[in-house]
Chain A
Amino acid sequence: MDRSLIPDGCRRCSPAVFFIFQALWMGLVGFGILGATLCLGLGLNQTGLNDYFGFGIWIVFDLAIIALGAGAFSTGFLAYVVGKKELKPMINAAVIIGFICYSGAVGMLGIDVGQPIRGWFGFWHANVHSMLTEVMFCITTYLAVLVIEYLPNILENRKLDKIPAVHAFSHNLHEIMVVFAATGAFLSMFHQGSLGGLYGVMYARPFAARTGILIWPWTFFLFIISAVASGPAFTMFCIWLTQKISGRQLVKREVLSLLAKIAGNVLLVYAVLKLIDTYYWATVVAPSAGFTLLQFYKAPYGIHLLVIELACAVLPVFVLLNPKLRDKDAWLIPAALIDIAGICLNRFVFTVQTSAVPVLPFDKYIPYHATWQEWSIAIAMIGYGLLIYSFSYRYLPVFPQERELN
């Protein structure tokens, strides 16, 4: 039925099977639309957000998916600016995943702000002293850059590519992509950093506050490094999963190994710096604010969270940097998943646990409870991502090596 839209020489599942899966993902999105309608119609009292928790599960998801979407800018920078041509076969997939992550995050933020119709206030009345203003500007601009980077792949659809103007435009965009890759890397560095910086500057919350250099707390740099450590791992995992589900080899094994090596090297740097930062914070920064380490950790956010977070930063390094181990899926995939889980846990700890820790003598240590409306929107983002990715894989030439490898 849609054979003429599928890339030349590539096999895809039958339209019926495809549309059954899309119906599933649309069901998830529909569930999220229900939750969003309630939140926009009845207010943020539909959520677990309150005076204690200005940040909830949505911000955890936002920070996590923005970190995981860092595979787009980091591999784009390496492929186009540094010149690592071995990454070109996976760059389309990385851009699509990046687009999904950033557009999903912006969509979720639209509900989180409560009144998205006033979303432009943050731009028009910009508070230049706020880390979040910088985040807002950079994320929206980077989303625009991602759309421009996604465009050539869309225009290379078999039918669209036949139109001379479309073909010429996508060809010219490809030629100049290095400019967008460089600006994307510049924007991403700053917003990934500022997302960490916004917690590090909270001097009234000793759990999150850090010393730093000039205006930047150490969390600024840790968030950039952790994003670059987890983004390529997430991209590599998505490509591996696509291969498994489709039963086709989409990229050469060396590409996955290279992504794992990049993630492993950056994760090693992150693990070392994170250990140093945690030690210094626990022994100097927190005590200077009158806290001991264990005062920050009470059920359900016990000290086990810190142990797991650090373990997730250290353990994958041994696999990802070992050429023999990263060439075996049985080692590579769990290592990548642990890397990803560690960074997601890090975002959770900084977002939710920071707010749970009391800062006034009469405050209590209160855990966060997300409502089903919040979960519905977070799950909808996953459904949205699967929809976009599925359509892209089916109808666009995402993997240039697919024909020769099958």
Chain B
Amino acid sequence: MFPWVFEWDWEIGHYCLLGAWYCVCTVVGVTLLYTILKTASDLRNKRDRAGHGDDHGHH
């Protein structure tokens, strides 16, 4: 599964199967991470906008 596991061989079968699988896992992982970070950013922006709205109200 990984290059450091003793059965690993640098040949076309490993490149194709595990290479494709690692690509898919990377795409899924990165997309999920992007979604989590975007959610955190949206929540922070919403809190900041709510905070600025209070400040305007005080003036």
Interface membership of chain B positions 37-55, coded 1 if the CB is closer than 8 angstroms to chain A and 0 otherwise:
0110011001000000000
Interface positions, chain A 145-199, Cβ under 8 Å from B, are 145, 148, 164-165, 168-169, 172-173, 176, 179-180, 183, 186-187
A123 at the interface (CB under 8 A from B): yes
How many B residues have CB within 8 A of the partner chain?
23
Evaluate whether A141 and B28 lie within 8 angstroms (CB atoms) in the complex, with A126-B1, A133-B17 already known: yes
Contact present for A169 and B35 (CB under 8 Å): yes
How many A residues have CB within 8 A of the partner chain?
26
Interface positions, chain B 1-58, Cβ under 8 Å from A, are 1, 5, 7, 13-14, 16-18, 21, 24-25, 27-28, 31-32, 34-36, 38-39, 42-43, 46
CB-CB < 8 A to B43: which residues of A? 164-165, 168
Contact present for B28 and A183 (CB under 8 Å): yes
A309 at the interface (CB under 8 A from B): no
A172 to B40, CA, bound (A): 11
B31 vs chain A, min Cβ distance (A): 5
CB-CB < 8 A to A176: which residues of B? 31, 34-35
A134 to B14, CA, bound (A): 11
Interface membership of chain A positions 308-323, coded 1 if the CB is closer than 8 angstroms to chain B and 0 otherwise:
0000000000000000
A144 vs chain B, min Cβ distance (A): 7
Contact present for A124 and B39 (CB under 8 Å): no
Partner of A183, one of B27, B34, B35, B46: B27
A16 at the interface (CB under 8 A from B): no
Contact present for A126 and B32 (CB under 8 Å): no
CB-CB < 8 A to B35: which residues of A? 169, 172-173, 176
A128 at the interface (CB under 8 A from B): yes
Contact present for A172 and B24 (CB under 8 Å): no
Given contacts A141-B21, A172-B39, A176-B35, 4 further A-B contacts (CB under 8 A): A124-B5, A169-B36, A176-B31, A180-B31
Binding site for A on B (CB under 8 A): 1, 5, 7, 13-14, 16-18, 21, 24-25, 27-28, 31-32, 34-36, 38-39, 42-43, 46
Binding site for B on A (CB under 8 A): 123-126, 128-129, 133-134, 137-138, 141, 144-145, 148, 164-165, 168-169, 172-173, 176, 179-180, 183, 186-187
